[in-house]
Amino acid sequence: MNRMYTDDPKNRTEEFFSIASSMKQNYSTNKTKNDNTIKNSKTKKNEFFQITSQIGKQIHLTCLKLSDLSKLAKSTSLYNDPTHQIQILTHEIKEEIQTLNRQLESVEILASHNTGKQNRQTTQHTNQIVGSLKGQLANTTQSFQGVLRERTENLKKQQERRSKFMDNSSFFFSANNNTSSRKISYAMDESKTNSTNLGFDIDIIENTNNNFNSQNSLQTVSYRESRVNVVEDIEKTIHEIGTIFSRLANLIQNQDTQIEWIDQNVDETLENIEQGERELRKYSESIGSNRWLIFKIFAILIVFILIFVLIM
Amino acid sequence: MKIISLCLFQWRGNNITEPKLLATGFESSTFGFFKKKTVKEWCEFVSFTLAKRTNESQRQSVKEKDYICHVYNRFDNLSAIVICDDEYPRRVAFSLINKVMDDFMDIYGNKFGDLEDYPFEQIVQLLNKFQDPNQADKLSKIQRTLDETTIILQDTIEKVLKRGENLEILVDRSELLSNQSKQFYRVAKKHNRCCTIC
């Protein structure tokens, strides 16, 4: 029964034969065993096989979706990037893998319950089924990881190609994308150790995709930002000019008082000099008019000296 | 820094699948005589591809060899591409694009989409005018005038400071003068009062 889920699902003749043979066996063993126990074990076995067949079918569907995703991820055109579809697909595949994990775990528990009442061969059989389903799920998760890795490498290449054309405004983008792609690889290494459990976050991939989409809008933003910056600079310069003018006015006002001082001083000087000139004139007039007196005084002095000399 | 070419396209319309060239202007004086034609064709091809690959209301700047191509697709079906060298400021290129499109719409606004041919000679004049980005762009002109004004103002402040120093010297000297003249007056007065005899 294990081979059925890997082969083409349309060809189910072998499954039919096996079911027919198993039913024949059941029918033949029915005669030798007790009915209740047979019914119990049969229902349990049927349940078990139904669940496992469902799980197998879902694994196959997931495989198909994964092949679609890998085709999309391989597309490497610079302009038409099917990121939206890729995101949807990865999200779906991730959810399906998680549900399949849970179902497999419940099947395992069911099988362990059943082993008490089954004989050795059926336990071996169920264990084999569970093991093979686990293996198939592990294979799908591995291929999923491989597809995601391809996708990140493609994104990196696209980014490099874009950076050859574009401005340095996308410079910090490449740094950002390096960190996010590193995160993806780290998470995938984590999940490698645990083959049945996926531990990584697809939101990281969504973030890189969003980064690429917003690159175009960043250019329009930077054009507007540059205009805004220029206008802000002009505003600053006008403000500076205003402060310079006010400083100028202050200086000139201070110099005004100094000029008044100078004016006062010069006026005083003028006055003093005029008065001094008047005094001097008076003095010179007085000296000039005084000469006769001086002559008279000198004459009297000379007379006294003559008298003094005549007496001696 | 210079502009090589300026192309105007109609990138969307009634029966238009790919961008239709409306007007172009070239500045090919720096290229050799035999290269001029190929340069013109290359510019037209690059402009055409960019106009095709840009979305509505989106500005892009693409680096191609030594030149940068700025493209803007406007919502009213017009698209303009400027190819210039990498020193030319981006903002001025986009303001040139806006001006070209506005001028074009001024002339052909109502009849846009109907006519076959749109002769638009001003495109060459605009291209030449914007060769010097500091002159043509208003924002950079304003900024330059303001910078000149600040320089002049700083000069003025220096001169005013020197004037202040001179004024202080004048104040001191005039004080000195006035004191000296006072003394002179006093001495003269003293002479007059006491030295009457001699």
Residue B49 lies in a domain: yes
- B105 is in which domain, residue-wise? 3-131
What pLDDT shows up at residue A191? 43
One domain, residues B122 and B171:
no
List CB contacts of A242: < 8 A, sequence separation 6 or more. none
Chain A contact present for B161, CB below 8 A: yes
**To which residue do tokens 């096996």 refer?**
A18
Contact: B154, A244; criterion CB under 8 Å: yes
Residue ranges of chain B with per-residue pLDDT less than 70? 15, 111-117, 195-198
The closest of A136, A150, A141, A133 to A199, measured between CA atoms, is A141
Contact: A255, B167; criterion CB under 8 Å: yes
User: Looking at CA atoms only, how far is residue A253 from chain B in angstroms?
Assistant: 10
One domain, residues B125 and B174:
no
What pLDDT shows up at residue A79? 64
One domain, residues B31 and B55:
yes
What pLDDT shows up at residue A3? 53
What pLDDT shows up at residue B104? 84
Contact: A234, B146; criterion CB under 8 Å: yes
Instruction: Determine whether A243 is exposed, middle or buried from the number of CB atoms within 10 Å of its CB (0-12, 13-18, 19+).
Output: exposed
Contact: B61, A167; criterion CB under 8 Å: yes
Percent of chain A with pLDDT over 70: 70
Dist CA A181 CA A187 (whole Å): 10
Residue B47 lies in a domain: yes
Contact: B182, A247; criterion CB under 8 Å: no
Residue B136 lies in a domain: no
One domain, residues B114 and B163:
no
Total-model pTM:
0.45
CATH code, domain with B126: 3.30.450.50
Nearest to B150 among A79, A240, A276 (CB): A240
Radius of gyration of the CA atoms of chain A, in A? 55
One domain, residues B82 and B120:
yes
Residue ranges of chain A with per-residue pLDDT less than 70? 1-9, 30-45, 76-81, 115-118, 162-221
CATH code, domain with B155: 1.20.5.110
Strands B58-64 and B67-73: antiparallel
Contact: A251, B160; criterion CB under 8 Å: yes
Domain termination residue (choose one: B85, B101, B131): B131
Chain A contact present for B55, CB below 8 A: yes
What pLDDT shows up at residue B38? 87
- Which residues in chain A touch residue B185, judged by CB atoms under 8 angstroms apart? 272-273, 275-276, 279
Residue B137 lies in a domain: no
One domain, residues B41 and B93:
yes
Chain A contact present for B140, CB below 8 A: yes
What pLDDT shows up at residue B160? 92
Chain A contact present for B64, CB below 8 A: yes
Using the Cα atoms of residue A63, residue A68, residue A69 and residue A73 in order, give the sign of their dihedral.
positive
Helix (H) or strand (E) holding B154: helix B138-194
Q: What is the interface pTM, i.e. ipTM, of the complex?
A: 0.71
One domain, residues B92 and B152:
no
One domain, residues B120 and B40:
yes
Contact: B174, A280; criterion CB under 8 Å: no
Chain A contact present for B105, CB below 8 A: no
Domain termination residue (choose one: B79, B108, B131): B131
One domain, residues B163 and B89:
no
Contact: A272, B181; criterion CB under 8 Å: yes
Domain termination residue (choose one: B96, B131, B166): B131
Residue of A nearest to B140 (CA): A230
pLDDT digits (tens, 9 = 90+) for A209-229: 555 555 555 566 677 888 888
The total number of structural domains that make up chain B: 2
User: Looking at CA atoms only, how far is residue B175 from chain A in angstroms?
Assistant: 5
Chain A contact present for B193, CB below 8 A: no
One domain, residues B115 and B154:
no
Chain A contact present for B192, CB below 8 A: yes
Q: Which of residues 266-305 of A touch B (CB under 8 A)?
A: 266, 268-273, 275-276, 279-280, 282-283, 286, 290
Residue of A nearest to B63 (CA): A165
- Which residues in chain B touch residue A162, judged by CB atoms under 8 angstroms apart? none
User: Looking at CA atoms only, how far is residue A111 from chain B in angstroms?
Assistant: 58
- Which residues in chain B touch residue A224, judged by CB atoms under 8 angstroms apart? none
One domain, residues B85 and B107:
yes
Chain B contact present for A164, CB below 8 A: yes
Residue type for A261, please?
A: W
User: Looking at CA atoms only, how far is residue B131 from chain A in angstroms?
Assistant: 20
Q: Which of residues 108-127 of B touch A (CB under 8 A)?
A: none
Contact: A167, B196; criterion CB under 8 Å: no
User: Looking at CA atoms only, how far is residue A18 from chain B in angstroms?
Assistant: 60
Residue B152 lies in a domain: yes
- Which residues in chain B touch residue A276, judged by CB atoms under 8 angstroms apart? 181, 184-185, 187-188
One domain, residues B64 and B32:
yes
